[in-house]
A and B are shown apart, each in its own frame.
Chain A
Amino acid sequence: MPQNEHIELSQKRHGKRFDHDEKLRKKNARSSHKASMKAKKLHGLKAKLYNKKRHAEKIQMKKAIKMHEEKQTKAKDADNVQEGAVPAYLLDRETQTRAKVLSNMVKQKRKEKAGKWTVPIPKVKAVGEDEVFKVLATGKRRKKTWKRMVTKVTFVGEEFTRKPPKYERFIRPMGLRFKKAHVTHPELKATFCLPMIGVKKNPNSPMYTQLGVITKGTVIEVNVSELGLVTTGGKVVWGKYAQVTNHPENDGCINAVLLV
């Protein structure tokens, strides 16, 4: 037997004091006061080390408390009828997709901050022609000013071919052309990167619609065939409208919400 276990040995031989448990309880109850006293008294490096240790202990403690609380709340939830009922044959299958949707939702929320899905945007700030178009000087003496360059994000269809540059009134720079948009499904709360089909309407001007200018509030048509949406008639939907919720020219990407 090691030398230092004399207390255990004595307890084995003679038993504990009758007030042992009571004294232990009181000591434990007092321990937090003692710890705080010690924290107040210490200074210098020792205080630094002690506080660090105490900080780690407190974190552990809070985690443990939280875990116990979760256990209790879970038991309460089981009694309520959950939403999203599915038949027995889907009960063991849905878990995967649900989890995916959930994680997507969490990610998106973190990115966009809660409450941004209150769009479709009813009112749009007017975007004037002076903001959208940059006047280009042409001609030998640089004095003709009928040429315009679009300074906003545009969508240009696959089949578009340029006119001869000499006669081209509107230039849509390659750097600002977009083919894909991040579209959020408001019910699934999930976001997908989908190819655009066209610009349905730019509320600022029909000319912007024609040119395919995408600003905040523009309604675009996106290809949703990957999502596997179905009409009530049982046909696969492939084109659906979405409204742009950000300023694409500032952000370098197009965020939109699906109009359901």
Chain B
Amino acid sequence: MMNTAVSDSKVLVNFLNGDGERAGAPLEIPLDATTSQLQVLVNALLGAEEKYQFHVNDFEVTESLRKTLAQQEGSVSTENAVEIRYEPQAVFRVRAVTRCTSSMPGHGEAVINAAFNNDGTQLASGSGDASVRFWDLTTESPLHVCKAHKQWVLVISWHPASRYLASACKKGDVCIWDPKSGTQVGRILTGHKKYISSLAWQPLHCSKNNHILLASGSKDSTIKIWEVVRGQCVMSLSSHTQGVTSIRWSGDDLIYSASQDRTIKVWRSSDGVLCRTLQGHGHWVNSMALSTDYATRIGGWDPALQGKVQSADPLTVYNKYKGGGEEFMVSGSDDFTLFLWHPAKSNKPVCRMTGHQQLINQVMFSPNGRKIASASFDKSVKVWDGKTGKFVSTLRGHVRAVYQVSWSADGKLLVSGSSDSTVKIWCMRTFSLLQDLPGHADEVYTVDWSPCGSKVVSGGKDKILKIWRA
């Protein structure tokens, strides 16, 4: 039989969404159909008004269907209908940052942590000089200096509605700050015996009776849940046998904690019951990320409605950005592997992802949860499929260990900060280096891409905070 896809000018296609469900019956469409024409077709089938990306066997359809099929001749069986997967794209585009608009000195020691708030209008940084600083983003100048800690500020974390900023130090203290005035709220929350490695706020849509809860994971192998307004420790979860490295508060109101004792534990936040223990890693679990991280981070602020609505209902925004399907978790470890989990359902991993040659320092889901980026000490960043855990690509270019990565809000760009003192921007369409941003004088410890997409902040051992813009 003749190869119908190439000889004929028409082809039978099936449109599938990201989870593999069909949209309507198979259609016969001309081979010369372009992406914009496919888009009109899918919108008509679904009765929606959105932009899509189309894939045939993981190859993106860039120009016309004919070209994409010709690229992978042989691997697509034209006996059956061609399956085209469509993925909704972010309605806005983030441009790659290209220049440094300001280098802000002020910290007396290395900048350990810098983060934007949920809508990208405020910026805070924590440093080794035991202070937390707030920065004014319109003038790019210092706003408040907050001193209460006695030791290096290791972690900072914004409340998902930007009402508070929590900071934790090497001594084991947690401080809560008011970002408007830069004053401390309540007392110092003491209780941990060793340094705190991670902080997580309760997602907005999970909070009950106006309680604002914060979880902190520490090297002393406990997790404590604090009620911020009263300044009290509500619960102390201790089941880990070694230091906790990372904690996350999921949208299903579960707390996940990764530890150096090679396990990840799942806790019910309401009563502190240990639901299950995820085992599989052979060494310390360094980092963990959820596919809903972005959805919980932005709180009630919807980047698609920039400037139109002040704050939407957190639950609807969460559901919108979470998308259909389950919540996935990925964990990166010292044993050079990553695991993909379904933590709310089972304690068996979905997939084990191998390929890194050194320990994995950070993992991160793209905002739409379709991709995973992992930063490793083997100088590379690897990109994986967020649903199946399949390897997608390796990003090479750094000459020393990569410490941190951060996704742009539309998931098309990735920024990475490394020990080689550079920040690099990667294109997620071609998986190549888009922009090399030198400027730091020493190791870059932290990078963050603002949720609104226009700015990137980076800080490191040279004590300077840099803001990059498009």
Chain A residues near B (Cβ < 8 Å): 79, 81-89, 91-92, 228, 230-236
Contacts and interface: CB of A to CB of B under 8 A. Distances in A.
B439 A232 contact: yes
B422 interface: yes
Contacts of A85: 109-110, 112, 127-129, 152
A81 B151 contact: yes
Interface string B50-93: 00000000000000000000000000000000000000000000
Contacts of A81: 109, 128-130, 150-152
Contacts of B286: 89
Interface string B103-138: 000000110110000000000000111100000000
B199 to A, nearest CB: 10
Contacts of B220: none
Nearest to B445: A87
Interface in B226-245: 243, 245
B112 A228 contact: no
A130 B133 CA distance: 64
B128 A234 contact: no
B406 interface: no
Contact of A234 (B196, B245, B436, B445): B436
Given A81-B152, A232-B438, A87 B421 contact: no
Given A79-B150, A81-B130, A88-B154, A230 B399 contact: yes
Given A234-B420, A236-B399, 18 more contacts: A81-B128, A81-B129, A83-B109, A85-B129, A86-B152, A87-B112, A88-B112, A89-B197, A89-B287, A91-B170, A92-B243, A230-B399, A230-B420, A232-B421, A233-B436, A233-B438, A234-B418, A234-B421
Contacts of B155: 88
Interface string B416-439: 001111101000000000001011
B39 interface: no
B371 interface: no
A87 B399 contact: no
Contacts of B420: 230, 234, 236
A88 B195 contact: yes
A232 to B, nearest CB: 5
B441 interface: yes
A82 B195 CA distance: 14
B446 interface: yes
Instruction: Please report whether the interface of chain A is mostly helix, strand, loop or mixed according to DSSP.
Output: loop
Nearest to B398: A234
Nearest to B440: A232
Contacts of B421: 230-232, 234
29 contacts: A81-B109, A81-B129, A81-B130, A81-B150, A81-B152, A82-B151, A82-B152, A83-B109, A83-B128, A85-B109, A86-B110, A86-B445, A87-B154, A88-B197, A88-B198, A88-B245, A89-B197, A89-B286, A89-B362, A91-B219, A92-B260, A230-B400, A230-B420, A232-B439, A234-B398, A234-B399, A234-B418, A235-B399, A236-B399
B403 interface: yes
A228 B154 contact: no
Contacts of B245: 88-89
Given A81-B150, A230-B399, A234-B422, A87 B113 contact: yes
Interface of B: 109-110, 112-113, 127-130, 150-152, 154-155, 170, 195-198, 219, 243, 245, 260, 286-287, 361-362, 398-400, 403, 418-422, 424, 436, 438-441, 445-446
Q: Which of A84, A87, A233 lies at the interface centre, i.e. has the most chain B CB atoms within 10 A of its CB? A: A87
Contacts of A86: 110, 112, 128, 152, 445
Of A79, A91, A228, most B-chain CB atoms within 10 Å: A91
Interface centre among A86, A89, A92, A231 (most CB of B within 10 A): A89
A91 B195 CA distance: 9
A228 B127 CA distance: 25
A232 B127 contact: no
Q: Which 4 A-B pairs have the closest CB atoms?
A: A85-B128, A234-B422, A233-B438, A88-B197
B438 A228 contact: no
Task: Identify the interface centre among A82, A85, A230, A231: most chain B CB within 10 Å of its CB.
Answer: A85
A57 to B, nearest CB: 39
Contacts of B152: 81-82, 85-86
B446 to A, nearest CB: 7
A181 B422 CA distance: 30
A68 B70 CA distance: 79
Nearest to B423: A234
A133 B30 CA distance: 88
A232 B443 CA distance: 9
Contacts of A84: 110, 128
Contacts of B127: 85
Contact of A89 (B128, B361, B439): B361
Nearest to B197: A88
Contacts of A234: 398-399, 418, 420-422, 424, 436, 438
A84 B170 CA distance: 13
A87 B403 contact: yes
Contact of A228 (B129, B219, B400, B445): B400
B9 to A, nearest CB: 50
A79 B439 CA distance: 34
Contacts of B400: 228, 230
A92 B286 CA distance: 11
Contacts of B440: 232
A88 B286 CA distance: 10
Contacts of A83: 109, 128
B469 to A, nearest CB: 20
Nearest to A89: B361
Given A81-B152, A87-B154, A233 B422 contact: yes
A81 B129 CA distance: 7
B433 to A, nearest CB: 11
A79 B419 CA distance: 29
Contacts of A228: 400
Contacts of B399: 230, 234-236
Most A-side CB within 10 Å, residue of B170, B420, B421: B420
A84 to B, nearest CB: 8
